[in-house]
Amino acid sequence: MKKHTMKKLESRGVRIADLVPILYELQKSYIPNLTEHQCEESLSAVLNKRDIQHIILTGIALDELAEKGMLEEPLLSILRKDDGLYGIDEILALGIGTLYGTIGSTNFGYLDKVKPGIIKKLDTTPDNVNTFLDDLVCGLVAAAASRMAHRNRDQKSE
C-alpha cells in the first residue's frame, strides 16, 4: 500500500524529491550535518505507517471526487473553491503531523502558514482541486521532521 500511496501522490504532482528540500530547510538548524539523504529516508519511513497512508488516500480521494463533480452540494462548492472556513483538510492532515509527537503540530502550522516550495504551488494551481493535498503534504513533512527531531535526541542521549 505504500507503493500505491506514493503513486497516488505522484499522480497528483507530488514526488518525495519535492519534499526533501522543504524538510531539509526545516531541520537543518536543529540537526548538525543533516543530509538530503536523511531527509529522504525520514519521508520514506513516515510513508510506511498505515495510518498515514490511509489519511493521504482519503484526502486525495476527496480532492478527486470534487474535481469530477461527484460530491453533493454544498460540499462540492466548498472543496472546489477551497473555502477558508472549511478546516477539515487541515484537521485530517494534522493527524499525519502529530503521529510522531506533539511537535508535529507546530511544524504543521508553520508549513501551512509559510507554504514553502511545492506546497504553495499546490495551493494556488487553478487546474486541480488540491484542497486536501496541500495540507497532506504539510502533514507529511511535519511528521518526517518530528521523527527526525526525536531520533536525533535519542542518538544524543545514548
Positions that interact with Mg ion (CB under 5 A): 89, 131, 134-135
Burial 66-104 (b: 16+ CB within 10 A, else e): bbeeebeeeebebbeebeeeeeebbebbbbbbbbbeeeb
> Which residue number has the CB closest to Mg ion?
89
Of residues 18 and 135, the one with the C-beta less far from Mg ion: 135
The distance of closest approach from Cβ of residue 77 to Mg ion in the complex, given in angstroms and rounded to an integer, is 15
The distance of closest approach from Cβ of residue 100 to Mg ion in the complex, given in angstroms and rounded to an integer, is 21
The span from the first CA to the last CA of the chain, in angstroms, equals 34
Of residues 50 and 120, the one with the C-beta less far from Mg ion: 120
Of residues 39 and 92, the one with the C-beta less far from Mg ion: 92
The distance of closest approach from Cβ of residue 91 to Mg ion in the complex, given in angstroms and rounded to an integer, is 11
Measured CA to CA, the distance from residue 76 to residue 63 in angstroms comes to: 10
**Do 5 and 96 form a contact (C-beta atoms < 8 A)?**
no
